Amino acid sequence: MRRLRNVKIVATLGPASNDYDTIRALHETGADVFRLNMSHGSHNEIRERHQIIRQVEKDLDSPIAILADLQGPKLRVGEFANDAEELEEGAAFRLDLDPALGDGSRVCLPHPEIFAALEPGARLLVNDGKIRLVVQDCGQDHANCTVEVGGTISDRKGVNVPDVVLPLAALSAKDRDDLEFVCQLGVDWLGLSFVQRAKDVFEARALADGRASILSKIEKPAAVEAFEEILDASDGIMVARGDLGVELPVSAVPPIQKRLVRRCRAAAKPVIVATQMLESMIESPMPTRAEVSDVATAIYEGTDAIMLSAESAAGSYPIEAVQTMNKVAIEVEADPTYTQIISASRTAKGTTIADGIVAAAREIAEKTDIKAICCFTQSGTTALLTARERPGVPIIAMTPATGTARRLCLSWGCHCVMTPELERFKGAVVNAARTARASGFATETDQIVVTAGVPFNVPGTTNILRIAPCDERLIYNTDPG
């Protein structure tokens, strides 16, 4: 299924999008990746959505990536005798391990690991930062705080601790159960929530044991500080701006987003920009101009993918939200300024043979009348390196590995096609020419660039670049391989 854009669209599934017809329509409209939010829905519901996605994939003969987003450790206050209390600015308020119902002066915070890490002056943000507490003194079982920003505090509200690295595993017991469940189902990507350090990624990778790629969500200040190590340990990144905007000043989020996207591009690892992209479309068929501008900004930055959360999972207009993203992406990528920005922000300086091959493929494609770059890839690395170049022509990623085709659905510009295992380069060139024509990227009179590795079907062997005609008769007459 050919897209008329390079950036990919991730759509979260939920109550508004859990049947075959809606999921198929979302994919046909533009969703390349479906996100299963493990914070909501039973294992049976997740299994049903997974089965529907795979049926749509089969019916449309179109690879689809599935991202299972793990919940991560959730920190919450306990319950109140009156269900809720009003906290006034400047008042004293205590958090402790006492399970007794809370009142206007205290409440239980059943997380001893938080108290173990707190120091005077640290901030505690309650209910997405609507209430802000500052620690005055603390011990192993309590923290006496001053209310910096007041408001209504009620049962089970979430708590963020932005100023310290918490001694928490990124995977709770629920996450471990969910991870094993979705890996057995056969998802392509695992989203790790509240990652703080590379160690968190290593733990998830060991449990996944090669069954899914690891995507780390950057939503804590500690993750921003340790980003290089987290990026090295991960297969992909999500810039999760919701919690990031709670724990950091909102003014800091846009420059962080730009830096992280650029670093991911240089590392040839896919990056998603997520959270509140078309928030108003949960209830309205039309987005705000500011939201459209936000989506466009992420595309101009060269992100691999943009994501819908509640808009497609629980909103009234899930298909319209995907349509809107698709239209914005097509419009932005047709803008000459987009090409200039992408070209100017290209920073990759690889030193391997594969780096040289893909860089040469891009330059040839952009300086001559080449219609597409066809790359044969076993593990996906060649396609990722090609996508890093952000070429001005389509990328056709051809692979005999179903898992590779699905995972690459998250990567910028990759049109993923399943191909049989090949033994000779001439057969690969013929296959590429046929695919370019069949997918509408080229005609018999056009030329394409073909990259591959010999011997075939061995990861990491990219070593050939060929400019090939799309007319098979010319290939057979001129190609000695």
> pLDDT of 155-185, one tens digit each?
999 999 998 888 888 799 999 999 999 999 9
What pLDDT, on a 0 to 100 scale, did the predictor assign at position 473? Answer: 79
Nearest CA-CA partner of 307 in 460, 191, 480, 400: 191
pLDDT greater than 90 at residue 207: yes
| CB burial readout 48-79, b (16+ within 10 A) else e | ebbebbeebbeeeebbbbbbbbbbbbebebbb
Instruction: From the candidates 275, 303, 382, 399, give the one annotated as an active-site residue.
Output: 275
Instruction: From the candidates 76, 174, 176, 199, give the one annotated as an active-site residue.
Output: 76
**3-class secondary structure, 161:** coil
The DSSP element (H or E) to which 46 belongs, if any, is helix 43-60
* Residues 458, 480: Cα–Cα separation, whole Å: 22
Question: Omega before 455 cis (within 30°)?
Answer: yes
Residue 282: count of CB within 10 angstroms of its CB: 20
Opening angle at CA 113, ends 107 and 118, nearest 5: 75
Annotation marks residue 426 as catalytic: no
* Residues 267, 462: Cα–Cα separation, whole Å: 18
> What domains lie within the chain, and their CATH numbers?
8-72+170-336 (3.20.20.60), 84-160 (2.40.33.10), 353-478 (3.40.1380.20)
Which residues, in sequence order, are bridge partners of residue 159? 126
Of 86-95, 185-194, 462-471, the least confident: 462-471
* Residues 240, 261: Cα–Cα separation, whole Å: 12
pLDDT greater than 60 at residue 354: yes
The per-residue pLDDT for range 217-243, each reduced to its tens digit, is: 999 999 999 999 999 999 999 999 988
The DSSP element (H or E) to which 466 belongs, if any, is strand 462-469
What pLDDT, on a 0 to 100 scale, did the predictor assign at position 444? Answer: 93
Which one is predicted more confidently, 459 or 32?
32
The per-residue pLDDT for range 55-67, each reduced to its tens digit, is: 999 999 999 999 9
Instruction: From the candidates 217, 407, 437, 466, give the one annotated as an active-site residue.
Output: 217
**3-class secondary structure, 274:** strand
* For range 102-122, the mean pLDDT: 94
Confidence grade of residue 462 (pLDDT, cut at 50, 70, 90): confident
Instruction: From the candidates 35, 205, 220, 407, give the one annotated as an active-site residue.
Output: 35
* Residues 437, 281: Cα–Cα separation, whole Å: 37
pLDDT greater than 70 at residue 476: no
What is the DSSP annotation of 51-106?
A: HHHHHHHHHHT---EEEEE---PPPB---BTTSEEEEPTT-EEEEES--SPB-SSE
Cα–chain-centroid distance for residue 20? 23
**3-class secondary structure, 43:** helix
Annotation marks residue 35 as catalytic: yes
**What pTM value is reported for the model?**
0.93
Annotation marks residue 217 as catalytic: yes
Confidence grade of residue 297 (pLDDT, cut at 50, 70, 90): very high
What pLDDT, on a 0 to 100 scale, did the predictor assign at position 168? Answer: 82
Confidence grade of residue 456 (pLDDT, cut at 50, 70, 90): confident
Cβ-contact 131, 149 below 8 angstroms: yes
